[in-house]
Amino acid sequence: MKIRLSAVFIISGFLLLAGALGLFFHNEKLQEEAAMASENLMPQIVEAIKIEQEKESKPAVVSPEEKEMVSVAIDGENYLGFIGIPKLGLQLPVIADWDYEKLKTAPCRYSGSLYTDDFVVMAHNYKKHFGRLSQLVSGDTVTFTDMEGETTSYEVVSAETLPKTAVEDMTAGEFDLTLFTCTYSGEARVTIRCDRTEN
């Protein structure tokens, strides 16, 4: 009986280990696909920005509250521009709105706008997306280049970890730019707050 029970434990252990390894390799594959998707998109984003800049007709001057961020469709998805995080060596396209499927490709706008200084961008915690956000500290630089070619510079002012239920805190309009991603447990959000600096 003891031998039979030991065999059950050993087999169960091997199955759990195989499951864990399978999950690890699946996650690694998703991360690589996401990194490749963002990398392949960047030349298309840059080209779309050039095309937008060459357009002659410019919209009438409107207040920041009325101004909409320009989005351009690439491969059936609308993009607002790209975010740059020099310390992490990242330049990533930003999708105009979010859902879980879109997050597999690139960071997404969660809420707000560049023009009303309440822009919130989210991404998965993939290594080549926002997985290293926790390395940012006060004083680090973040940039956002919109589809009209205008680059806005920001400075990191704080880093915090918020509960995943703290939606109101995440979208509080006290900061010009907020970046966030899940912790690896999925129980909290690594949150980077930034203020606009002079370009």
* DSSP letters spanning 134-155: GG--TT-EEEEEETTS-EEEEE
Instruction: Locate 27 and state its tokens.
Output: 């996650």
pLDDT at 74: 94
Residues of the chain with pLDDT under 70: 1-31, 56-65, 173, 199
pLDDT at 20: 52
Q: What is the pTM of this model?
A: 0.79
Residue 97's SS3 state is coil
pLDDT at 150: 93
Superfamily of domain 40-196: Sortase (2.40.260.10)
Count CA atoms closer than 13 A to 111's CA, side-chain side: 11
Beta bridge partners of 83: 92, 144
Q: What phi and psi values does residue 166 have, to the nearest 5 degrees?
A: -85, 60
Mean pLDDT of the chain: 84
pLDDT at 86: 97
